[in-house]
Amino acid sequence: MKVKEAKAITTEWVLNFSKKHSSFHSAYLAGSIVDREEETTLPPSSDLDVLIILNQEEIPLKPGKIRFHHVLLDVTYLPWSQFHEIEGVLSSYHLANSLKHNTILLDPTYELHNLQLEVARQFPKKKWVEARCEDAMKRITNNLNSLTQKSQWADQVMAWLFGTGVMCHVLLIAGLENPTIRLRYLTTRTLLTTYQQETVYEKLLDLLGCKELGAERLLEHLDHLEQTFDAAVSHAKTPFFFSSDITADARVIAIDGSRELIVAGNHREAVFWIVATFARCHQIFNADALNLSECYKQSFQLLLEDLGIHDVHDLEQRSTSVRAYLPTLKASAMKIMDENPSVIDE
């Protein structure tokens, strides 16, 4: 299916949604679709991130993955109040990046259109690029700092993992690139190759622990994840913000998408999402099927051990290493900004 066809189907879904919800304000697309050409083919392992803006402060839990006319949508709700201040939008790396292009699906009041035009105009200004990099840096430290507040192993792993993984976003923001979620390491590798900073990329892999991990070994871990994933899908009841990522519809992304990366030679780039999916499955087990947590614990632990993680002490040590690297990361981001001709210095 072409990207333009998928967008048309998504617009149809949004129009139906707007007719049923009086609080609907507007809707737009985010994620990797933002940078895809209309005539390109949408990969089977891709979904469309749909952001629904509501005229209400209390936002329901995201409905997540919805399949509509063969298109997999990942729907999230946001309050319109988040978009009132242009400075706040330009400083938020997730909000600003998704509005740098016009991917608006429906906007009856035209308020989102006006905001998007202003975001697009100011998006490449260096002061806002720096602000968004700082937003990402704060996310790194916030994630790492939360590690000691967690009691469950899966939660502790997630705190370390996302603290480590957001380092990619700092660099992607500096390069005016899309801070992708699942493919963050792949897009960061491309960026750092462009700016001749390959050694920085190797350090990112080293901090994640997968620098020397081979493709065959990771395929074994993926086979174990597949079993864990299917068990989590069949027992999930408690709603999590990530619940839609652990569903039958999401299998094509979490499992098949990871396998595609490995087979294509991008096995190290697949590690982040494989670990995240493993951990989320165990968060579901801890809430809804505690007996399964023990059953599938070993396969999760074997992957972590291949990354050099055996216990919480290792997570803390690795987090300390990430913190120590942040000044170098920031310097790398500033160098990219300075060399990027699209960044406007005023």
For residues 117 and 120, give the distance between their C-alpha atoms in angstroms, rounded to a whole number: 5
Of 123, 147, 182, the domain-final residue: 123
Domain assignment present for 345: no
Question: Is residue 342 situated within a structural domain?
Answer: no
pLDDT of residue 316: 98
**In which region does residue 209 sit, left (phi positive, over 0), alpha (psi from -120 to 50) or beta (all else)?**
left
CATH number at residue 60: 3.30.460.10
> What pLDDT sits at residue 37?
84
Q: Residue 336 has what pLDDT?
A: 98
Indicate whether 8 and 134 sit together in one domain. Answer: no
Indicate if 140 and 281 belong to the same structural domain: yes
CA distance 281 to 286: 9
Query: Phi and psi of 170, rounded to 5°?
Result: -55, -45
Of 56, 91, 123, which closes a domain? 123
Shared domain for 131 and 114, answered yes or no, is: no
Phi and psi (nearest 5°) for 321?
A: -65, -40
Residue % of the chain over a pLDDT of 90: 90
Neighbours of 84 (CB within 10 A): 11
Pair (184, 323) in one structural domain: yes
User: DSSP characters for 135-183?
Assistant: HHHHHHHHHHHGGGG--SHHHHHHHHHHHHHHHHHHHHHHTT----STT
Cβ neighbours for 130, distance < 8 A, ≥ 6 positions apart? 337
CA distance 147 to 160: 7
How are beta strands 71-79 and 48-54 bridged, if at all?
parallel
Q: Are residues 189 and 299 in the same domain?
A: yes
With CA atoms as reference, report the closest residue to 246 among 213, 207, 210, 285. 285
What range defines the domain where residue 266 resides? Answer: 127-330
Q: Which residue numbers in the chain have pLDDT < 70?
A: none
CA pair distance 70, 79, nearest whole angstrom: 28
Residue 325 lies in a domain: yes
Torsion of CA 104, 106, 110, 116, to 10 degrees: -10
Q: Do 190 and 298 fall within a single domain?
A: yes
Among candidate residues 123, 150, 165, the one where a domain is terminated = 123
> Does 40 share its domain with 79?
yes
- Give the whole-angstrom CA distance, residue 183 versus residue 166: 12
pTM, to two decimals: 0.94
Does 210 fall in a domain?
yes
Instruction: Residue 34: name the closest of 21, 22, 24, 48 by CA.
Output: 48
The values of phi and psi at residue 242, to 5°, are -100, 10
Same domain, 149 and 243: yes
Q: Count structural domains, the chain.
A: 2
In a domain, 185, yes or no: yes
Regarding whether 243 and 228 lie in a shared domain, the answer is yes
193 and 284 co-located in one domain? yes
Would residue 75 count as lying in a domain? Answer: yes
Asked whether residue 180 is assigned to any structural domain, the reply reads yes
Q: Are residues 174 and 95 in the same domain?
A: no
With respect to residue 313, please indicate whether it lies within any of the assigned structural domains.
yes
Residues 80 and 172 in one domain: no
What is d(CA 260, CA 253) in angstroms, rounded to the nearest whole number?
Answer: 10
